[in-house]
Each structure stands twice: as structure tokens, then as C-alpha cells.
Amino acid sequence: MAVRRNMKVTLPRLRGVLIPLIAVIVVLALFPVIGVSRIWLLYAFLFFTYLAMANMWNLLAGYSGLVSLCPAAFIGLAGYTLAIGTWFGFPWYLGIIAGGIVAAAFAVIISVPVFRLKGIYFAIGTLVLPEVLRFVFTIWAPIGEPVYGGGAGYTVKGVADVSQAQIYWLALAIGAASIFLMRYVLRSKLGSGLAAIRDNDSTAASCGINVFNLKLYSFVIAAFITGIAGAIFYLYQGYIEPVSAFSVRWLVIIMLATVIGGEGTEEGPVVGTIIVVFLYFTLARYAEISLIIQGSILIGIMLLAPQGIMGSLRKTRAYRSLLKLATRR
Amino acid sequence: MTVLVELSTPVVMGILLGGLYAVIALGLSLVFGVVKEINIAHGDLVILGSYFGYVAMTVLGIDPILSLIIGMPLLFGIGFAIQKYLLNRAFKISMDATLIIAFGLSLILQNAYQLIWTPMARGLTTPYALESFSAGPIHVPLVYLLDFVAAILVMLFIQQFLKRTYLGRAIRAAAQDRKTAHLMGINTDRVYAYTFAISMALAAVAGVFLGLTFSFTPISGMSFLIIALGVVVLGGLGSIVGTFVGGIAFGLAQTLGGYFFGVAAQMLVAYIMVLVVLAVIPRGIFGR
């Protein structure tokens, strides 16, 4: 219980924020109806999917002390589940859910070897996973040989039936769901236990926290949501192949979003993802040096403001007094 | 008998290739063992060594192995600067910070290679790169043998260096206990910088032999990093003998996997072996 009391100090209830949040989501949901231009819908779509992934990475790295380098594994697996499912005649909405489930199941299986590893060892163990899956899906072609499958990848069949607006709403749903899930998880017993594990896992274990199970829960939740977001992304893209599906590019996006915004802060990924989507489109013009810019941002943020934008803001007096105002209401 | 004869070539090739993997992983293992940081940019820095050999060969007309006389000090200097100005500072922030900064460095390097050398695959094609030798039923490319010889020389050199020189002892002291080493008058920050610098000099060697053996592109660094991580995990982080044994185990898994399951699956077999080892003995074969 001591842990729980402690958490309440660091996690203000923020009741006042809930209503504006819902209002923003409703307005965003109206975007396709009120004729917002397609390019802005695309920005928003990418924001929602990346946000869900970044939130889940934050749950692992920022709150559970699990620096996982394998979001691409969940994204790629879910994308493949969706694509291959449509080839076997399953409707796309089942494919998205199945994608999340497959990613979560993969997380359960893989937790056996990687959870034996702590800290930096865990990071290494997870870095290998997308690479392994990339090889698997380059070799394995369950259907559509010899033209499709393997290195050639799959198209998602029946995408034509899905309207742009539907895909947009799906992305909005998963983005919003990830925010509410974070709010819920962090204020639950699970969140308190995770924070205890992150800060000192042997003390947590001696306080009666089941370290393995709690880590597993957060890992599986993260895998499921990341997988669903990935499947939605591939529903939009309509095509999947192993090199880009299990690419380290996913990790770059997700890590940038969380690190810029502030690892271990609830609002961090939101701020970070806005910046990442903005960067994504502005850097398209400077494609040849875009990685240099992104790498420099990562290094710069880490050296100058390791807690990210929100982490640094939290330290300022103005933010604290604003927070007091918001919570007192 | 015929099976044994057929198997002899992949076994020999696996062992020889393991030498190359051990050299690639050695720098990573050293930095992990001493500084306790995983240098995610290690693969890209190895590729920097390959590109250095490429420039030396094509522009200056020097044999890539000979060019190491310039390449090793050059990368040594770069490594010293990286640790001193970037990672030593990150190290004081948090463990994640070093990881993320090294990741940022890796992205910058990949992009820089693309700008300078184009995304085209390069290789160090020397006259001897295409030769091969035979002993009975075994046919092996000559460069594989060079890799292995280089690996043994480098390993022996590093082991003796850590054992006999003052700096080597200081490095070992800092690896065992940072605070006590500091109290004994060792400038641990500088020792870390030297360690990283040595790791980069090793990356120069690894890069040249990698270039002789395989072709490389600006983004190859990531795959070789993952191979190196696999080797280090197999052998146990921070152990030189372990790295050597891990390299051979990885090389054997790759060539034998290729022999039994086809070339397309060879890396997969090696990675799955790494995951299985992680699940069974997480600290690796020689881990402490």
C-alpha cells in the first residue's frame, strides 16, 4: 500500500482534463465528415497510429523499466496476420483483432527467454526478434506462391471496400484507446507495481509483487495495442513486405516520439508524436539527410533535456501552478 | 563416411567464419564488459572500418589489410572522442541515455555513408579475395582463413594487453569496480575513453576483414550489430574467450544451418540458437 500512496503523489488525478480530452476526440472524429483535406487526414492518421505505439513503448520503457527494442516485431506480425488473413478470406476487421492477438501471443512466447534478462540484456534480446521474424517471413509463404509471399510480400485483399474515413476512425479509436488505457493502467495496482519494479525490482519482489507476471502483463498489453495499431497502418498501406515491416525505422519513430516528448510522462508521447509527424513531412523535402537530423535530435535531447519536453516542463514552476489549478477544480 | 566428408566443409567454414564474427563482436564485448554500455552503433562503426579500407584501396591504391596501419589509429581517435564527448556524459544521465545516444549515432552514420558512398553494395575485392584453398575434401576461400588468423592474433594481443600493460590493468580494474578503481587513483572517465578507442581500433580490423569476406552497404551495420550481439550473448558478455567461442558457435550454426535447411534459413538457425541459449543460460557459455 505504501507504494500505492506514493504513486498518487506522482500521478495527479487530472479530473479536469477528461472532458476537454473527450471533446477533442469528438472533434477529431468529425474531421472526415466536415471535409478536412486529405493531407490533414493523413497527418492525423499517422499521429494516431504512432501515438498508440509510442504510448505502449512508454508503458514499457518509461513505466516498467523494459527498454524493448522490438515494437517492429509486433507491428510486422500483426500486419502479416491481417494481410495473410484476407488471402484466406477473413474480413479485414477480424484480421486487425487477430493481428493484435497474434502479437500478444508472440509476446507471451517470447517472454520466456527475454524476461530472464534484466535491463540492457533485455534490450539486446528484444533487438534480435524483428530480425528473426524478417528472416521467417522472407522464407515462409503460406499462400499465393510463387508470385506472392516471401520477400515479395502480400497485398491486403479487399481494402477497396474500406473507405478512407473508416481507416481514419479506426486509427483514432486505437490512439484514443491507448491514452485511456495508459490513464487506467497507471492508476491501477498494475501501474503501481510496475513503477516499483522499474525503480528496484528486488525490493518490489520482497514486497510481495510478482515481478514476472506484472512485467508480462505490461508486455502483453503493449504487444496487443502496438499490434492493432500496426495492423491498422497496414490496412491503410494495403501492402506488406518483410524488409519494411520488421524495419528498425519503426523503432526510430517510436523512440523519437517518446524521447522527445518525455519518457515516463503520460503526456510526453502525445507531444512527441506531434513533433515526429511534423518532422516526417518536413523532412521529406530533405530526405537525403533526414536520418542525420533525426539522429542529431535524439542525441541532442538526451544530452540537453534527458526527460524530454514534458519532463523538463514539469520541473518549471509555471507548469506546477497550472497543474494545481487543473487538479483543484 | 560420405556424410562426414560432406559436412567437413561447412564445419571448417563455420569455424573460420566464427573468427570473423568474434573480431566483430570483440569491441562490443570489451565496451560492455568495462563501461557496461551496449554500443548500438558498433555495427555501423565496423562498417566505417570497411569503408576506410575501401577508400584506401580504390583511391590510394593501398592493400586494405596494410591500410590498417593508418585505419586503426584513425578509428582509435574517433572512438576516444565519441566516448569522451558523448557517451561519458550520457553515462551519467542514465543507462537508457547511452543506448538512445548510440542509436542516434548509428542513424547519423548510416545516413552519412549513404551520402558519401551511395547506397550501392561495396566489397574489398583484392586479388587474393577470390582465391581458395583445398585440403582433401575441404574447399575454403582464402579470406576465411585470413579472418581466422586475424581473429586469433587480435584476441591474443588484446588478452596480453589487458594482462601486462598498466592501461590494461586499469581497464580491468575499472571493469571490476568503478568506484574502487576511482579511489585507487584511476581516472575512470579516461579509462572508458581508451576502452572505447580500443574497441574502435578493433572495429577497424573487423571492418576490413568483413569487407574482404562479404559485400556491405551503408545499412549493413545493423545486421552485423545483431550478429555481434548474438555472438556476445552466446559467449557471455565481457569475456574474451567467451566471445571467441561464441563467434565459432555462431559461425557453425550459420554454416550447418545453411547445409541442413538451405542458405535462405542459415541466419535464422543462428538467431534461434541465440534465443534458445538466452532462455537456457542467459549469461552465456562463459558469462560471469
B225 touches B31 (CB < 8 A) = no
CATH architecture of the domain formed by B2-126+139-280:
Orthogonal Bundle (1.10)
In the predicted structure, residue B241 carries a pLDDT above the cut 60 = yes
> How many degrees, rounded to 5, is the angle at CA A157 between CA A152 and CA A163?
125
Cell numbers representing residue B54 in the block:
575501401
Mutation test of the interface with chain A: which of B87, B109, B111, choosing the one with the most A Cβ atoms within 10 A?
B111
User: At B205, is the pLDDT very low, low, confident or very high (cuts 50, 70, 90)?
Assistant: very high
Rounded CA gap, B206 and B45, in Å? 10
User: pLDDT of A154-199, one tens digit each?
Assistant: 888 877 778 888 899 999 999 999 999 998 888 888 888 888 888 8
Domain that holds residue A120: 2-248
Q: Identify which of A61, A132, A259 has the shortest CB distance to residue B271.
A: A132
Rounded CA gap, B43 and B230, in Å? 12
Q: Which residues pair with B132 in a beta bridge?
A: B141
Tell whether A298 is covered by a domain: no
The pLDDT of residue B135 is 76
In chain B, the residue whose alpha carbon lies closest to the alpha carbon of A138 is: B264
Q: What percent of chain A has pLDDT over 70?
A: 94
Residue B190's CB: how many other CB atoms inside 10 A? 16
| Mean pLDDT rounded to a whole number for chain B | 87
Comparison of pLDDT for A250 and B277, the residue scoring more? A250
Tell whether A291 is covered by a domain: no
The CA–CA distances, whole Å, from B85 to B79, B190, B215 equal 10, 11, 32
**Hey, are the CB atoms on A302 and B95 less than 8 Å from each other?**
no
What sign for the dihedral angle of Cα A246, A247, A251, A254? negative
For residue A63, the chain B residues in CB contact (below 8 A) are none
In chain A, the residue whose alpha carbon lies closest to the alpha carbon of B229 is: A124
Rounded CA gap, A143 and B271, in Å? 25
| Mean pLDDT rounded to a whole number for chain A | 85
User: At B9, is the pLDDT very low, low, confident or very high (cuts 50, 70, 90)?
Assistant: confident
Rounded CA gap, B51 and B78, in Å? 15
Q: What percent of chain B has pLDDT over 90?
A: 40
The pLDDT of residue A1 is 28
Cell numbers representing residue B264 in the block:
535462405
The pLDDT of residue A2 is 32
> Tell me, what DSSP letter sits at residue B216?
B
| Alpha-carbon dihedral angle through residues A92, A95, A97, A102, given to the nearest 10 degrees | -170
Pairing of strands B138-141, B132-135: antiparallel
Mean pLDDT of A11-32: 77
**Hey, are the CB atoms on A67 and B96 less than 8 Å from each other?**
yes
Q: Identify which of A135, A139, A302 has the shortest CB distance to residue B101.
A: A302
Rounded CA gap, A125 and B245, in Å? 19
User: pLDDT of B26-62, one tens digit each?
Assistant: 999 898 888 888 888 999 999 999 999 999 998 888 8
Q: Which residues 205-244 of B have a C-beta within 8 angstroms of A?
A: 222-223, 226, 229-230, 232-233, 237
Q: Identify which of A113, A139, A302 has the shortest CB distance to residue B265.
A: A139
Cell numbers representing residue B209 in the block:
576483414
What residues of A are in the B interface, CB distance below 8 Å? 61, 67, 112-114, 116-117, 119-121, 123-125, 127-128, 131-132, 135-136, 138-139, 248, 251-252, 255, 259, 263, 288-292, 294-299, 302-303, 306
Mean pLDDT of A309-319: 80
> Tell me, what DSSP letter sits at residue A150?
G
User: Which amino acid belongs to residue B124?
Assistant: L
Residue A304 to chain B, least CA–CA distance (Å)? 10
For residue A252, the chain B residues in CB contact (below 8 A) are 103, 107
Rounded CA gap, B80 and B200, in Å? 8
The pLDDT of residue B6 is 79
Tell whether A280 is covered by a domain: no
> How many degrees, rounded to 5, is the angle at CA A150 between CA A145 and CA A151?
125
**Hey, are the CB atoms on A132 and B275 less than 8 Å from each other?**
yes
Rounded CA gap, A70 and A245, in Å? 12
In the predicted structure, residue A78 carries a pLDDT above the cut 70 = yes
In the predicted structure, residue B264 carries a pLDDT above the cut 50 = yes
The pLDDT of residue B158 is 92
The pLDDT of residue A115 is 83
Q: Which residues of B58-69 are buried (b: 16+ CB within 10 A; e: fewer)?
A: eeeebebbebbe
The pLDDT of residue A8 is 39
B77 touches B197 (CB < 8 A) = yes
A153 touches A95 (CB < 8 A) = no
Domain count, chain A: 1
In the predicted structure, residue A6 carries a pLDDT above the cut 70 = no
What are the residue ranges of helices labelled H in chain B? 2-35, 42-58, 68-81, 88-93, 95-117, 142-164, 166-176, 178-183, 188-213, 220-235, 240-261, 266-280
User: pLDDT of A53-70, one tens digit each?
Assistant: 999 999 998 888 888 889
Q: Identify which of A136, A251, A296 has the shortest CB distance to residue B268.
A: A136
All residues at 6 or more sequence positions from B50 whose CB lies less than 8 Å from its CB, including other chains: B122, B124, B207, B208, B210, B211, B216
| Omega before residue A142 within 30° of 0, cis | no
In chain B, the residue whose alpha carbon lies closest to the alpha carbon of A295 is: B104
Cell numbers representing residue A315 in the block:
520541473
